[in-house]
């Protein structure tokens, strides 16, 4: 679920991005960051937003106890917007975001905001 989206239309406020397939699924499965400098060259790239086509994207997993529990996605319409330096910066930020998520009871917030996303044990 997108939770930090800025400037998105109301109908995409809590857009659900499948984490079991495509590039988000790859990052969840491997718990490794991913850089797509030019999405037009990637047959595995899936477009989730209805408002625009993304040309460049970076993904960084939020890792807890050795497994990815979520991810940060940044995307831009222009191809070649993001490169290795951007991926490194996002990957360095991800542990800080994961720590804040836990400290601020992100799982509790998620269960309230969108119960279907809560871990099965909490439903």
Q: Which of 120, 101, 123 is nearest to 112 (CA)?
A: 123
Residue 54 to residue 49: CA distance in whole angstroms? 8
pLDDT band for position 116 (50/70/90)?
low
What pLDDT, on the 0 to 100 scale, is given for residue 121? 52
What pLDDT, on the 0 to 100 scale, is given for residue 117? 61
| b/e map 60-95, b = 16+ CB within 10 Å | bbbbeeeebbbbbbbbbeeeebbeeebbeebbeebe
What pLDDT, on the 0 to 100 scale, is given for residue 3? 72
Q: 10-53, pLDDT tens digit by residue? A: 777 777 777 777 899 999 999 999 999 999 999 888 887 777 78
Phi, psi of 96 (to 5 degrees): -70, -45
Residue pair 51/79 in contact (Cβ under 8 Å)? The answer is no
- CATH T-level topology, domain 10-122: Beta-Lactamase (3.30.450)
What pLDDT, on the 0 to 100 scale, is given for residue 51? 75
What pLDDT, on the 0 to 100 scale, is given for residue 122? 46
């Amino acid at each position: 679920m997108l939770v930090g989206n800025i400037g998105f239309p109301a109908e995409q406020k809590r857009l659900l991005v499948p984490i079991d397939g495509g590039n988000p699924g790859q990052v969840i499965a491997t718990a490794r960051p991913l850089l797509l400098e030019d999405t037009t060259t990637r047959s595995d790239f899936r477009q989730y937003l209805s408002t625009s086509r993304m040309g460049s994207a970076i993904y960084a997993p939020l890792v807890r106890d050795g497994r990815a529990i979520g991810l940060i996605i940044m995307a831009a319409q222009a191809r070649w917007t993001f490169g290795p330096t951007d991926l490194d910066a996002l990957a360095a930020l991800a542990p800080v975001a994961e720590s804040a998520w836990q400290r601020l009871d992100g799982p509790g917030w998620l269960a309230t905001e969108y119960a279907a996303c809560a871990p099965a044990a909490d439903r």
